[in-house]
Amino acid sequence: MKTRKKIFLTINYSIWMTTFFGLISCAKTEITKNDDNKQTKIKNPKTIKEEKKNPDLSFVKNKLNLLSETNPLKRELQKQLNNSEINYEKINSIIDTVNNFLTSLKNDAIKKLNLIKFDADYDKLNKKLSQENLSEDNINKLIFNIKNKIDSKDNDNPKNKETINREKLLNEINDTIENANSLFSYTDNKELVSTKFLLAKKIKNVSEVMQKELDYPHYHISDLSIELVQLKTIIAEFKERARLVEEQVIKEQIITNINTKTRSDATNLKHSLGFDLIFDKSSNEFFDANSIITKNPIYIKKVRHFINYLKSANNGDGVDLSSYKIDNEYLRLLKEIGVYGEYGDTPLEKIKYFYNGYDKSAMMKPLFLDNFIDNETQNSIILNSDHIISSKIKGIINKNPFGLLPSNLSQFFYYIDLNTLSQMISLNEPILEIKANYNDESGLIKLFIKTNSNKYLLKLNQNNSPLKRNADFYQYIYDRSFSLGYSGVKTIENFGVKSYNISTSVSGTAWILDRLITDHDANKDEYEFLVATNMHVVSLTHIFDRSLVFNQYTGYKNKERFIGRLNKNFIFGKKSYEFDENNNLILDYSKYFLKEVDKIQGTLTSNQYLDWLVYTPKFKSNDVKAFRSVKNFMNEITDEENRIGNVNNSGTDFVVIKLKFTKSQVQKLFPTLYDVLGTPMEKEWYVGLGNEKSDNKVYESPISTHFVLGFPYENGRFVMNKTKSQGGYIETKNRIVDNDKNGRNNFNSLWIRYNDKENKKNNILNNWWTEYENPFGNPDKHGMKLELLNQMSTIYLDNQDNNALGSGSSGSMMIDSKFNVVGINFKHVEQNGSDNKGNQAVLFKGYSEYNSEEFSGDMKEDLIKTLKNKKIKTVKLNSN
């Protein structure tokens, strides 16, 4: 009984404090929503809410008397009444909060009263509670009396029998949850991922309702009973689904006892690869897409031919692109290879062979099976989805190194030798020809197989196979991404013009990759996540770095007049789109839906920005050429005549930062994450820096399928841009650096907390470290600039429909068609007309040469190492 009293008093205090702080917060949020709605009412008029009139002061004083002396609302209301100028808007807001508080308290009393309907005093207590304008003290007295009634009942009371049943129900729920949790480790089959998410969400729902029942005994018994039935149903469905999946796995198992060899004399890429170059028997998996392409003997011959041309062109003088003349043969050969930047035996040769331009016509293109027409399929044997051939093909789809789209299956089958393919799909007769018609929008493929004696036709889609469609990948990015914005004030100083201060704002796209684990996670309303975006999106140097403003143009410093201030809160947001009710997928990405997620006032900037950097790659880059002067960024000049040298401060336009979100913000921006927070499936939700089984990434292929989606903030509205690419070319690193004032986009900078050792190391050139020795303003906010030269490998995308993402999409996640994050969008590129435009994205595994002691070239591996060294524990990347 003593325990119950303690819980009871805690509940009342909780209501009091929650109402005071929480409802004031809600009132502020409501004002923001109303302000936002005013903008949409012009397009879609609605009834305008009447403005509140100023309250009569006697009415306000009556409200004041209803509150207890210790209630902070009373003190706040009294304070407003004592002001020389009364703020009626504020008073109205407080009165609304008081009304909500008293209503909440009274409702709590009514709920407790309903527990003693069998008591003789029920009617009397109910009559008192029904009175108008009950004071806080009177309600609390009634609650106290009701509580004593509950506590005083003997064991024969029907309520105690309910308690016994209640305990039985709670025990059954605990046992069922334990049983459900054991299912998450039952199998790692990808076909069960969506079912696992559904199970995790239901477990969380049941746990939340059970906690409410523990906090407020007997209020949620019926809800709990319903939740238990639903949980048991999902468990039963999961087990049945798992059984069927395991049966299917056996049917779809990849046949590995195939010993076909790739012919070295093949002259055509089509059907050129034996099982030896597509399947790794040591790991019992297919080779990755890049290995399948680059190990092909025909591709190897093309690389040799390209290298030979580089050295023998121009009558033996070799290719020289440093003169910026177009070499059409170079571009034609590049289209066959897809990667450039490392060719050449000397630093000067590497510069001469480097293509410093953008041309979509030179991009490597994926290859697919031929299409067929309906007339060809007459008299074909129709294979149903359960046929052994269909099952084997579905097993290949599930493991396809090129991806899960219909086009990816056509792409993979294009390379496989027909004798090998017939064995892989258990077709006991030689294949003469295989063709495919596919649609990535709908997730459908039709395969037509012809042998000497038969013709076969097979139709696979999302419902009868693991095939995915474009929308699945956009959805995946959408669920994990958001618009990140901030604003501030900075000083502008131009030569010969008086300095002036202007407001500045920045927004880009960011995405959640992991969550930090702390000792008090379960008891807080705020979570801290690892968030990825471009360095230039969160730079802040344009706001805080006085040296940029007062040294670059005028040559003098005026510290007293410098202003660099960041506004209080970040802005979070994203665009909402119309969903298909049947499968919860976005219907049409080309049309904006009428509503959008509210512009959310994010967490405070002031206690985050100086210390939010967790990771950005930093390494030394050799053999780069300065477009102009070498003095302001090269640490070592190896060829002064040709302006070639080495740069210690190299990196890329990518950062991982710590960023805080409240539970409410998580629920609005990332509802699919909110559903599984704290469950075994939370780890599965995060992308990390890739879904590879190991800590390492593989090299990306330029002909892989890539998806990018971002949220620009334009004219006060969030919009959504997306693109798909199949093809492109990879630049191993940018060897020609445009380092004049107008070419600063080759460099990225970040404003971080001052560190004397790092300052003298990073800003050593021209003794620039002296600029940051003393704080520009508040000593507690002493910062410095970290500037890095873009030197990571990048891919130029072959954007479909010439749909290039613009400003505000910077920082967008780039994934392949296996839901694997492989890079980050950072640049819109356009050259020689609007028909030649696209996007450039940083790859998370670099093709260039690196000093393994400082950087392996693999950002996933490097980030995990950083988290371990910094002892940052996370849900996905560093959970041990």
pLDDT tens string 707-737:
999 887 666 666 788 899 999 999 999 999 8
Residues 387, 491 within the same domain: no
Three-state secondary-structure class, residue 797? strand
Tell me the DSSP string of 228-246.
HHHHHHHHHHHHHHHHHHH
Whether 875 maps to a domain, the answer reads no
- Residue 857 sits in the same domain as residue 818: yes
Structure tokens at 440: 């990535």
Whether residue 878 is contained in a domain is answered as no
User: What secondary structure letter does DSSP report for 427?
Assistant: -
Same-domain check for residues 688 and 826: yes
DSSP state of 77: H
Residues 489 and 439 in one domain: no
Percent of the chain with pLDDT over 70: 81
Half-sphere CA count of 474, side-chain side, radius 13 A: 25
Query: Which two structure tokens, joined as six digits, stand for 801?
Result: 């429909």
Identify whether 130 is part of a domain.
yes
My answer on whether 299 and 377 are in the same domain is: no
In a domain, 68, yes or no: yes
- In terms of residues, how long is the chain? 880
* pLDDT (0 to 100) of residue 4: 38
135 with 68, same domain: the answer is: yes
The contacts of residue 709 (CB under 8 Å, 6+ apart) are 474, 477, 478, 481, 720, 721, 722, 723, 812, 813
Q: Please indicate, yes or no, if residue 30 is contained in any of the structural domains.
A: yes
Q: Within a domain: residue 284?
A: no
**Which of 260-264, 467-471, 833-837 has the lowest average pLDDT?**
833-837
Best-predicted range by mean pLDDT (88-92, 147-151, 243-247)? 243-247
Residue 462 within any structural domain of the chain: yes
- As a whole number, mean pLDDT of residues 518-540 equals 83
Is the same domain home to 536 and 679? yes
- pLDDT score of 229 more than 70: yes
- Looking at the DSSP assignment, which residues form a beta bridge with residue 815? 707, 821
For the stretch 554-603, pLDDT in tens is: 455 555 556 666 666 667 767 554 333 333 333 333 332 223 444 566 65
The residue from 152, 183, 208 where one domain ends is 152
Provide the number of structural domains found in the chain: 5
What would the two tokens of residue 478 be? 């959408």
Q: Domain check: are 145 and 246 in the same one?
A: no
Q: Average per-residue pLDDT in the chain?
A: 82
Domain-ending residue, one of 202, 234, 252 = 252
Q: Tell me the C-alpha distance between 763 and 777, whole Å.
A: 20
By three-state DSSP, how is residue 864 classified? helix
Which of 4, 36, 322, 34 minimizes the C-alpha distance to 150?
4
What is the mean predicted confidence (pLDDT) over 811-820? 96
- Asked whether residue 128 falls in the same domain as residue 48, the answer is yes
Rounded mean pLDDT, 243-249: 85
548 with 441, same domain?
no
Asked if 145 and 186 sit in the same domain, the reply is no
Return the SS3 of 450: strand
Q: Which token pair is 766?
A: 């021209």
Q: 401 with 444, same domain?
A: yes
Task: Summarize pLDDT for 407-425 with one digit per residue, the tens.
Answer: 999 999 999 999 999 999 9
Distance CA 189, CA 207 (A): 26
Other C-beta atoms lying within 10 Å of the C-beta of residue 200: 24
Domain membership of residue 527 as a residue range: 472-869
Mean pLDDT calculated for residue range 764-769: 83
Residues 6+ apart with CB under 8 A from 541: 548, 749, 750, 751, 785, 787
pLDDT tens digits, one per residue of 14-43:
444 444 444 344 333 333 333 333 333 333
Domain boundary among 444, 468, 492: 468
Instruction: Please tell me the distance from the alpha carbon of residue 643 to that of residue 624, in angstroms, as a whole number.
Output: 8
Residue 305 covered by a domain: yes
